A and B are shown apart, each in its own frame.
Chain A
């Protein structure tokens, strides 16, 4: 926002409140209410305003508080933002960023806990970023804001507590470039967002059992760095794909297919998918914790694939 006066942020309680997660605290004091705009509770409306402002020379960031609320913005993002550049034969551009969240286990129940990034990853014309660390969150958000296309960036709500090194300097992380968060030789774990941390924890557990796991963080689901994923799977000959979205027709299915197509003859075991259980996210902690992959369940699955149950 300091670098580019065209950038502004609009959303529910983004100004004085700094969002319910307090991740934007202080922003309005620095940039004023003209550029940090508290909106009515009108997700479709602010998404639509973002599209129109982006088409006419601004670079809006639209804040959708909970990822579950993207149901309310789907027409504006999917039918408008994603298609305008193509439908206009390349004349109009929509440099729009939608910031939203994903992730369960906050005891927030079925309408505040979903991870719906697969929906947008399905749509040509959209880019989708799923940062897994504070460092990546900054670099990917900067790339998103500078991109000339509509980008949806999903932030894991639980990760707001995560601490990690974030340089002050102006760095960006390119889209479509996966990051090997941990190198290994026996099994590849391809993960997104919240599940990168789960995979890293699982890898630590596996190390004690003599299994060397490689953790590949895709960082963006669209575009997807197929090459890095396939090369890792070829190298280790085993792969698990872990994502917090619903498993059915989800990100894990897509990445598993990429591995099957690209590394089939190098695989020693079927590709394993681990997504959120195909149920509405339950409220009760006793039930909710059963619905998402954990370090334990991932390590367990990895051991099976490596023939060490």
Chain B
């Protein structure tokens, strides 16, 4: 039966006693890596060094990290236009990611995909997707393939609440439930379908949708990485056991605009709301409190980690900036396999 746990704001000291300290530190490292990566992406945009646009994941880091840390390297994910966080959390290297965002030959997709199509099959990432809800079929198909091949793999389908308007999601959830496919549908509700609050576009209850297909659903605070992770572990275990799909609704928030160019956004959401999420519900801050309360790491230790990551990100950006563009002869390669 679906459970509604509501949202939590404060870190929970009790959970850390269960969790292994190293794992929490790894969460911290991965979440901070995503944040620093995305801040750098914004800088690349602002300094006109990046072609096109990008959709920043800042604010939602706990979802990608909490989920992907519950997966094995060969488990699958499908991602969205706001996909950098998922890509890093599943294990991609930031230098080749930056190179892809800059359209360089050393990028994960040889510069042919860009921000919205970044994929890394070596870490099980079947790709970001520029069609909202467009990867529901791919994730469900990957789960069907895993089941047919008896590989024991599971697939996670990340999507935003905007995808709740897409029919494909419901077609595939129906089949996933019918055939007990090992897939977990992770809905990241960051409250806004582009520039429109989701309550203006979404009728009824979100978790009533999967429930209608007989899919177990949970609604949780997507800012609490430990809660996300523990819930994901249960759902992954269920999928691997052959007990079918589940649906995880993570309440979260994107700090930046729909994309890097969406700067003036007071017309669709109040600054006060942004400020509240940033100061009171920041996933990295919540984890920091947990780490410090439980004496797993102090300010200095966390600052050291952050410093290392800043070095890694800086080196990765330099790598990408120096990398060559693809040769013109690449333009018609890889149209067909």
Contact = CB atoms under 8 A, between A and B. Distances in A.
Interface of A: 8, 34, 39-40, 42, 44-58, 60, 75-76, 79-80, 83-93, 95, 124-125, 127, 148-149
Contact of B109 (A44, A51, A57, A89): A89
Contacts of B155: 52
Contact of A53 (B136, B145, B167, B174): B145
Interface of B: 76, 78, 107-113, 117, 119, 121, 126-127, 129-131, 134-146, 148-149, 155, 167-168, 171-172, 174-175, 178, 333-337
Nearest to A96: B141
A179 B171 CA distance: 41
Contact of B141 (A48, A91, A95, A124): A48
Nearest to B114: A87
A8 B335 CA distance: 25
The winner among B140, B141, B143, B145 for most chain A CB atoms within 10 A is B141
Q: Which 5 A-B pairs have the closest CB atoms?
A: A48-B137, A52-B141, A45-B171, A89-B110, A52-B138
15 contacts: A39-B175, A45-B171, A48-B137, A48-B138, A48-B168, A50-B141, A51-B138, A75-B131, A75-B134, A79-B131, A79-B134, A80-B135, A85-B335, A89-B107, A90-B333
Nearest to B169: A45
A302 B219 CA distance: 69
The winner among A49, A54, A125, A149 for most chain B CB atoms within 10 A is A49
Given A52-B78, A88-B121, 9 more contacts: A50-B137, A52-B145, A55-B145, A76-B168, A86-B334, A88-B112, A89-B111, A90-B110, A149-B336
Given A8-B148, A44-B167, A125 B137 contact: no
Given A42-B175, A48-B172, A149-B336, A80 B109 contact: no
Contact of B126 (A44, A46, A52, A90): A52
Contacts of A51: 137-138, 141
B172 A40 contact: no
Contact of B119 (A34, A91, A148): A91
Nearest to B326: A89
Contact of A52 (B144, B333, B336, B337): B144
Nearest to B112: A89
Contacts of B143: 52
B334 A45 contact: no
A12 to B, nearest CB: 12
A89 B334 contact: yes
Contact of B140 (A8, A52, A83, A88): A52
A57 B144 CA distance: 11
Contacts of B139: 52
Contacts of B130: 79
A83 B174 CA distance: 26
Contact of A45 (B109, B126, B174, B336): B174
Given A53-B145, A53-B148, A89-B109, A48 B136 contact: yes
Contacts of A55: 126, 138, 141-142, 145
Contacts of B174: 40, 42, 45
Contacts of B129: 80
The winner among A51, A85, A86 for most chain B CB atoms within 10 A is A86
Nearest to B128: A87
B112 A49 contact: no
B128 to A, nearest CB: 9
A47 B141 CA distance: 9
B41 to A, nearest CB: 19
Given A84-B127, A88-B121, A124-B335, A49 B111 contact: no
A125 B178 CA distance: 32
B142 A52 contact: yes
Contacts of B112: 86-89
A57 B336 contact: no
A57 B146 CA distance: 9
B334 to A, nearest CB: 4
A86 B330 CA distance: 10
B320 to A, nearest CB: 15
A149 B337 contact: yes
Contacts of A88: 108-109, 112-113, 117, 119, 121, 127, 334
A83 B112 CA distance: 10
Contact of B146 (A48, A56, A125): A56
The winner among B108, B109, B138, B167 for most chain A CB atoms within 10 A is B138
Contacts of B141: 48-56, 60
A289 B110 CA distance: 51
A91 B136 CA distance: 20
Contacts of A89: 107-113, 334
B322 to A, nearest CB: 19
A100 to B, nearest CB: 17
A87 B148 contact: no
A307 to B, nearest CB: 43
Nearest to A93: B337
A85 B131 contact: no
Given A47-B137, A58-B149, A88-B113, A53 B144 contact: yes
Given A57-B145, A87-B112, A92 B335 contact: no
A92 B121 contact: yes
A50 B131 CA distance: 17
A90 B334 contact: yes
A91 B138 CA distance: 16
A80 B337 contact: no
